Structures are given as C-alpha cells and as structure tokens.
Chain A
Amino acid sequence: MIYLDHCATTPISATVKNAMEPYLQKQFGNASTLYRLGIEAKVVLEESRNVIASALGADPEEIFFTSGGTEGDNWVIKSACHHNKNHIITTAIEHSAILSSCKFMEEHGAKVTYLEVDNYGRIDPQSVLNAITPQTALVSVMAMNNETGTIEPITEIAEICDRYQVPFHTDAVQAMGNVPFDMKKQKISYLTLSGHKLYGPKGIGVLYMNRRHLLPPFIHGGGQESTFRSGTENIPAIVGMSAAVSEITEKMNQRNEHFKKLREALLFGLNDVPFIVNGCSFACAPHILSLTFPGVEGEALLHLLDLKGVCVSTSAACHGSDEQPSHVLLAMGISPANAKSTIRISFGEENTMEEIGKTIEVLKYGLAKIHRQQ
C-alpha cells in the first residue's frame, strides 16, 4: 500500500509509540491521585505540557489538553461571544469544526462574517480589518488549508486583531510541523492542534490560550487542566502528543525538503497529462497537492487508485445523494464540475521516490481507464 493521505491522519511514529508504551500498562496512574503512581503521572503530564509550550513559544500555563482539533475549535468558537460582543469573523474555507460551530452560534443569535478568499485560497488581511466592528468577539482564520495547502497570512491578521483588541484564533491542525509558530512573537490568542496529524495518537489535541484571553471552561467536572477542561487526563495520549510535537518540530526543515522533492517528481511525472494544481504557488505547504483532472470524476479516480493500493482523497466523501463539491474549492472560484474532478495527495515523511514513481503509473492507468469510457 502507498499511503498518500497524511492530511487525513498519520501513523504513530516509532518514537511516539515508545514514549507512550509505559503509560498504557505499567504507569497507568491517574494524575489526580496522591500516591506515587499518580504523582508520576502528574509529573509526566506537566513535562509533556512544558515540551509543547516550548515548541510553540508559549508558557506551560497556556497549554490545555483536549480530545482533538474539533474540541479545541468548538471551545473557542462557542465560548468567544459575551455581553454585547456577539460577532465572529471567519473564512469560507475553514474546516467543518469551525464552520459547523459558527452555524451553531448563528442559530443562537451570534452574527458571523464569512470572509471570501482569492483564487489561490488566500485571505486578504485588509478584508479582516474591514469586517471588524465594535461587536466583534473573535477572528478565526486557519493557518494552512487542509485541502489545498495554502498558507494564510495569520501573523499579519493577528497584528490587525491585536491593534483592535479582538482575540485571534487559528486552527493550526494542518500547519503544525510545516510552518514555525512563536506565541511570544505572533499575536495569536488561541491556537488549536491535533495529535494524529503529527504522527501522534488519535483522541488528543491541544488548545493554546493566551493568558490575557482565557476562555471559560468548556467541559465541567473534576477540575482537571486548572479547572478549564475537566476529565481524567489521557496520559498515554498526552505523552504521545508531546513526543509527536517535539519530533515534528525538530524535523520540520528536513521534512519540508523531502516533500518538495516528492512534489516536484510527481508533477514532473504527470507532465503529459492535462491537470490543474489548485492553491497558492508562493505560499503553500509542500506536502499537499490538490489536483484537478478536468472531465474525470475525482471519486472514481480515488477508487481506481485504491484498487491498485494507492490511498488519496477527494474533499467530498460519498454518501450517495449527499455528495457535494468541496466548499473550499468553490470558495476559490473553481467550478463545481472541476471541484468534483479534484483529488488531494498529501505526502508523509515515510513516502519514497519509488512510491511516487508507482503513483504516477497508477494515476495514468486510472485516468486512461476512465477516459476510455467517455
């Protein structure tokens, strides 16, 4: 199998697995208990928090463990409005964890502005400035788009928000490990991470909350996470998340160089096939390729690739009549027909040039088989 869908999820790395293992059986203590086993769990919990804080240039007290990216996004969007501040600014290309939470907030009386993007999928920071009102409670813009790899100008947007004293949130689930973050320099109020996109475990995430913009607790109970997020801490997953963040941050440049080579090889290998690369050529993640093959149904191509052992994705999974073209591609001005003719390839560090060669071969096979029926 050739796995080229690392934006969907990643395998747990050997380093992460080894770090987690002792906490699955031997050191299984509850970090809230007062005997040695529990104290050891508490110590490793705080060490993990320190590692993640250090990777983000944050203070450990600003790091809160969650169940994943979706929880972090829900926490911020659903908690940001207060008193007469009931306006949220976001973009049309966000992940559904943001868009669905915004829809929920609209149903509960909030006003939401969905900013448009250009043909590259980029937000103009000026459009954020123009949308801010005295009622604005939050601006939320993703750091890197999960379908196209387009990198958003979040540092500029955060500066604008800071100037107008509006908290700024970024969903950095796809960006972590691919672009650097420094919470001390960037004026980011909230940042969401997910473990399983970073070669860490599923079911764990982080919400960074700047100490000046602390949100109310989202899950109430036993008072864990300084009372902000109750629930017994998932120590094995937290240790895994910390190991994953540490490893991916350390390897960032090396990984990006590897992805650039894979990307170039794939695009070069397809040069005799008509296709369009979606996204931004000057500000994009090297590991994400959104490719449109006009006239070819993306979902059919995906299944033919699967038949030959290559895993890629389309943005729209098939649920029969519910199938819709990607909201991200439509927001970029791509036609519904071309949006449905698009697949996403996302590389991982374990992918090899040999695998890319095989993928080119299988892609050409799939395209030929589909074209011959038209």
Chain B
Amino acid sequence: MVWLKSIDNNELRRCKICEKELEHNELAINEKLLGRGLVSFYCLDCLADYLDSTREDLERMTQEFILEGCLRFRKN
C-alpha cells in the first residue's frame, strides 16, 4: 500500500532526537501528523515536544485513529 511505503519494510527505525527504537504506531502517528514520505521519525515523547503537545494527547489520537479503522495503525 502506497501510504505505508516509508514504514512497511520492518527496518529498525530510531527516533531522530533520542535514538529510541520506534514502534509501528509511533511511525504511523508521525506520518499521520507530519505527512507521508518522512525519512526520519520522532518517538512519541520527542514528537510531543516538537508539536508543543503532550504524550497523552498523541496516545489519545492514536487510539482514536485505531478506533476509526485507519489502516496505518496496528491494534495492540
């Protein structure tokens, strides 16, 4: 699927700030909020910092996207 191009190869990815190993839904929320085709990603905490938001807000959004049925995310 086109929208998974940058995150579908199971390649190990790390946060571009803190180098934490990233989970699938962290990659997905990066693409959802910053657009497709990203080459580098943030972990949830660093993304929250970058967006002047909170980890809780991003976790809530992730759950909402999963409930909506957005295929970019994986159910836990």
Contact = CB atoms under 8 A, between A and B. Distances in A.
A371 to B, nearest CB: 10
A296 B68 CA distance: 23
B53 A307 contact: yes
A297 B72 CA distance: 15
Contacts of B12: none
Nearest to B52: A365
Contacts of A296: 35
A1 interface: no
B34 interface: yes
Contacts of B57: 307
A323 B53 CA distance: 27
A321 B51 CA distance: 26
Given A307-B53, A307-B57, A307-B61, A321 B35 contact: no
Interface in B9-52: 31-36, 38, 50-52
Interface residues of A, number: 18
A312 to B, nearest CB: 15
Contacts of A318: 68, 70, 72
A297 B2 contact: no
A319 B3 CA distance: 11
Interface residues of B, number: 21
A321 B2 contact: yes
Contacts of A369: 34, 50-51
Given A369-B50, A369-B51, A320 B1 contact: yes
Contacts of A373: 34-35, 38
Nearest to A365: B52
B34 A370 contact: yes
A319 B71 contact: yes
Contacts of A297: 35-36
Contacts of B51: 304, 307, 369
Interface in A268-311: 296-297, 299-300, 303-304, 306-307
25 contacts: A299-B32, A300-B32, A300-B34, A303-B32, A303-B33, A303-B61, A304-B51, A306-B61, A307-B57, A307-B61, A318-B68, A318-B72, A319-B69, A319-B71, A320-B69, A320-B70, A320-B71, A321-B1, A321-B71, A365-B52, A369-B50, A369-B51, A370-B35, A373-B35, A373-B38
Interface of A: 296-297, 299-300, 303-304, 306-307, 318-321, 323, 365, 369-370, 373-374
Given A320-B1, A373-B35, 16 more contacts: A300-B31, A300-B32, A300-B34, A303-B32, A303-B33, A303-B61, A304-B33, A306-B61, A307-B53, A318-B70, A319-B69, A319-B70, A319-B71, A320-B3, A320-B71, A373-B34
